Structure 1
Amino acid sequence: MCSGSGLVGLLLGTLLMVASSSAQGNSSKNVICYHGTWSVYRPGMGKFGVEDIDPFLCTHLVYAFLGIEETGQLRVIDPYLDLEDNGGRGNIKRFNALKLVNPVLKTLAAVGGWNEGSKKFSMVASDPLKRARFVDDVVRFLQRHGFDGMDLDWEYPGQRHSLENADRENFITLLKELKEGLKPFSFLLTAAVASVQFSAEISNDIPAMVPYLDLINLMAYDLHGPWDKAVGINAPLYASEREAQDATGWWPQFNVDAIVKYWLQAGAPPEKLILGVPFYGRTYTLATAEGNQPGSPHIGKGIAGKYSREPGVLGYNELCKLMQQEEWTQEWEPAQQVPFAFRQRQWVGYDDPRSLSLKAQYVMDHHLGGIMIWSLESDDFQATCGQQAYPLLHEINRVLFDRDTPSGLTPASSKDKPNEGFSCPADAPEGYVRDPDNCSKFYYCSGGKTNSFDCPSGLNFDLITKRCNYSGSVKC
């Protein structure tokens, strides 16, 4: 766990709006949460909107995705959902308004993703004029909409329909020019990257990219799936006994431990490495019901989720409910430290609170920068499977922070805990107010509503900076 002094240093740095949320040394941990915005169109209990996000369980929220044009301009993929123009729903505005609830939360706009592909990134990265247009468009977009930075999700340089053999080098140039454009405004720059060595070596010059990125999100999932000949678990922590004995050196790469060690040995500083974890499992249809252990043959993708509706994929919220309704056999793979389950000829390898607790502890033990989640809408955010909403995210927070609010702010008001004492007057202007009797307590007034917060231990709310600060620096 973080030491007391290190934790205070982390929180103070964040609360004073330091440009980079990445820690100096090992005093900081980050929980970076992607929100796939299309999930607002899911049916029934799977529908997930901005109003379903708990802004106290993540240090960074990532809005996924924006697109990129061949010209170098940004593209809003769903204008009706994202923007307010022409009667739009204004999702981006509501997303960034979560910072009014948790004032130390950071928000990022993600550009790219699997569906956006690589071709247009390759075209833009190879052309100086297009790169300049992209940088300018990104800066304008972040300023206009109130984001704190950008997450670049090019999947992947040098792969998937790339047009240039120099993608690897051009990617570094793009990062360099992006960082130069973002730096004057203290915007963050992060990237989601291919994690496994064989793929990362093609796409990433790791020592060259490190100076330009505040955080590096390792997509350490989809390590096994229906594209393999045998069933395997989505994101194992360690290699299976069968994989560890592979003489080619190929299969031992496909686990979290091998991924992290490769990136560290290649020159990535641990405090910038963010371990990506999946809140979904990969499903298969077994060749026979009897062949149900990892490594067994299959005939293709398994069932789709009720909400995500993608064959071969089950969100944790879909899977946990399915297991309550049907008799699934749940087992633990001891070598890989992850669960799997099967019912008749359906098989799934996934993550649960136990395996995510082990991954979070791995982050602590190896002094990594934190954990990245793909993605929020696949946690049990409705608490349909248990008494607590967001059980996966809560477990990650428990290990990384020994509490449930990683920002260090303890909300004194919630759905089940009303404000005590102070309440904002109905006509109060929108903004922050310090408690008249307690300098470490403050409120955010909005439309007559009162959002209450406590500064971390040893800090008081500064009326000048509107942030928590060291007690000796604050006039009470």
Structure 2
Amino acid sequence: MKPIKLFFQLICLSLILTGCSKTPVKAAEPEIKKEDPKKEESGRFKVVGYMFAGGDLLAESAKIDLSKITHLNIAFINPDALGVFAPVAGLTELVKKAHLQQVKVIAAIAGGDPPQYLKELLKPDKRKILVDGLMQLTRTYNLDGIDVDLEGDFVNEHYEAFVTDLSAALKKESKLMTAAVATWNSAAYSDKALALLDLINIMSYDQTGPWRKDKPGPHSTYEAAEIDFNHWNVLRGIPAERLVLGLPFYAYGFGADIPESLTYGDIVQRYPGAEKVDLWELPGKGTFYYNGWPTIKKKLSYALQKKAGGVMIWQLLGDAGGEHSLLKAIHGDIKN
């Protein structure tokens, strides 16, 4: 019986090998569906925090509780005059760390004092270079989008065309496009340009400052926040869920013998009890104006009541640690 058994075994092996010689059928790879970024962003209250791009990004991020924000904007990442972006140390590791916490990371370009050559890169003959460079930046670091922080006279006749081209490129890769806007400069932003933005960060601060020493006083009142939000929501017709109300984590000082600016963290560390008020006076020296706990919480309550897209923080490293943290207060009120 053994030879017969061996014979049948050889026949079976032959049939198996014959079957294997046929062209294999490759299993279809599952289709990866990319979520529409606008759909993904809708329905949740955002806490957008800016963080300076200088220094060791990964080390600096250790000072921030990423679990209490939804978006981290790295400010500012600008190209050189040729539109080339230099490597950003620590950004790859920071993006990985943030994504593990479900935090989106966005590169913010320009800023309040950007290089003047950016105006040249916005022009038609250079615009593609800038857009292509920004797209490569998002791919290199796996970023979730670009924040267009062009301000003042950088919001010029080329602004609309630039955000139109950038929006088209970003949407092809399911990336976000956001922007920081100032109410005083509202007329410079066209309706078409505003409609392309997924989130609009309202810079509701800097109504005065060290550049206006003749106008001492608060630079970011609750009343101003209401006026700014109403302007963009009602007068400019932007849906509330796309508007993000800006909150300052810093103070301006007016006086002959005090610093022109301090972070909120500096204020509460130097002056116990400062977190409970919005100004701190040093007799004979000057006064610091900022937003303490009561005003920050009142602005947050207003944003929630208006069903705003969220709140924006300039900037996260200005916060205090421990029980005096404004970010902790914001997070606690959102959860309650």
TM-score range, shorter chain: 0.7 to 0.9
Is the 2:200–2:244 Cα contact (8 Å) retained in structure 1?
A: yes
Q: Show the counterpart of 1:186.
A: 174
- Structure 2: give runs of 5+ residues left out of the alignment: 1-33
- Structure 1: give runs of 5+ residues left out of the alignment: 1-15, 42-46, 84-90, 239-254, 286-298, 305-311, 333-338, 403-476
Larger fraction in helix: 2
- Determine whether 1:358 maps to 2:298: yes
Equivalent residue letter for 1:341: W
Matching of residues 439-450 of structure 1 within 5 Å = none
Q: Quote the offset at 1:360 in angstroms.
A: 0.4
Q: Show the counterpart of 1:229.
A: 214
> Aligned pairs, how many?
300
- Closer/same/farther in 2, CA of residues 38 and 140 from structure 1, 3 Å limit: closer
Equivalent residue letter for 1:130: K
Matching of residues 15-414 of structure 1 within 5 Å = 18-20=36-38, 23-24=41-42, 27-38=43-54, 49-71=60-82, 73-76=83-86, 79=87, 82-83=88-89, 91-102=90-101, 104-117=102-115, 119-127=116-124, 129-156=125-152, 159=153, 167-196=155-184, 199-201=185-187, 203-205=188-190, 207-226=191-210, 227-238=212-223, 255-264=224-233, 265-285=235-255, 303-304=258-259, 312-324=260-272, 339-344=278-283, 345-381=285-321, 383=322, 388=323, 391-402=325-336
Q: Quote the offset at 1:38 in angstroms.
A: 3.2
Is the 1:50–1:94 Cα contact (8 Å) retained in structure 2?
A: no
> What is the rounded CA distance, in whole Å, between the counterparts of 1:372 and 1:358 in structure 2?
14
- The secondary structure found in structure 2 opposite 1:69 is coil
> What is the rounded CA distance, in whole Å, between the counterparts of 1:39 and 1:379 in structure 2?
18
Q: Quote the offset at 1:48 in angstroms.
A: 6.6
Equivalent residue letter for 1:317: G
> What is the rounded CA distance, in whole Å, between the counterparts of 1:114 and 1:303 in structure 2?
24
> What is the rounded CA distance, in whole Å, between the counterparts of 2:160 and 2:40 in structure 1?
20
Q: Show the counterpart of 1:467.
A: none
Identity of aligned residues (%): 24
* TM-score normalised according to structure 1 size: 0.59
> What is the rounded CA distance, in whole Å, between the counterparts of 2:226 and 2:55 in structure 1?
31
> What is the rounded CA distance, in whole Å, between the counterparts of 2:237 and 2:60 in structure 1?
38
- The secondary structure found in structure 2 opposite 1:31 is strand
> What is the rounded CA distance, in whole Å, between the counterparts of 2:74 and 2:215 in structure 1?
34
Equivalent residue letter for 1:190: T
Q: Show the counterpart of 1:444.
A: none
Is the 1:280–1:350 Cα contact (8 Å) retained in structure 2?
A: yes
- Closer/same/farther in 2, CA of residues 351 and 48 from structure 1, 3 Å limit: farther
Cα deviations across residues 379-425 of structure 1 (Å, max 9, x unaligned)? 013x3xxxx3x7201111222332xxxxxxxxxxxxxxxxxxxxxxx
> What is the rounded CA distance, in whole Å, between the counterparts of 1:113 and 1:148 in structure 2?
19
- Closer/same/farther in 2, CA of residues 48 and 374 from structure 1, 3 Å limit: farther
Is the 1:22–1:215 Cα contact (8 Å) retained in structure 2?
A: no
Q: Quote the offset at 1:235 in angstroms.
A: 0.4
Cα deviations across residues 33-62 of structure 1 (Å, max 9, x unaligned)? 111133769xxxxx9712222221110011
Q: Quote the offset at 1:352 in angstroms.
A: 1.4
Is the 2:122–2:130 Cα contact (8 Å) retained in structure 1?
A: no
Is the 2:170–2:176 Cα contact (8 Å) retained in structure 1?
A: yes
- Closer/same/farther in 2, CA of residues 194 and 39 from structure 1, 3 Å limit: farther
Equivalent residue letter for 2:244: I
Is the 2:180–2:200 Cα contact (8 Å) retained in structure 1?
A: yes
> What is the rounded CA distance, in whole Å, between the counterparts of 1:217 and 1:209 in structure 2?
14
Is the 1:330–1:340 Cα contact (8 Å) retained in structure 2?
A: no
- The secondary structure found in structure 2 opposite 1:400 is helix
Equivalent residue letter for 1:378: G
Is the 2:53–2:77 Cα contact (8 Å) retained in structure 1?
A: no
RMSD value, Cα: 2.5
Cα deviations across residues 316-357 of structure 1 (Å, max 9, x unaligned)? 110001103xxx88985xxxxxx2110122201101121110
Q: Quote the offset at 1:95 in angstroms.
A: 1.3
Q: Quote the offset at 1:228 in angstroms.
A: 4.6
- Closer/same/farther in 2, CA of residues 108 and 23 from structure 1, 3 Å limit: closer
- The secondary structure found in structure 2 opposite 1:355 is helix
Q: Quote the offset at 1:210 in angstroms.
A: 2.5
> What is the rounded CA distance, in whole Å, between the counterparts of 1:268 and 1:148 in structure 2?
23
Q: Show the counterpart of 1:448.
A: none
- The secondary structure found in structure 2 opposite 1:20 is helix
Equivalent residue letter for 1:283: G
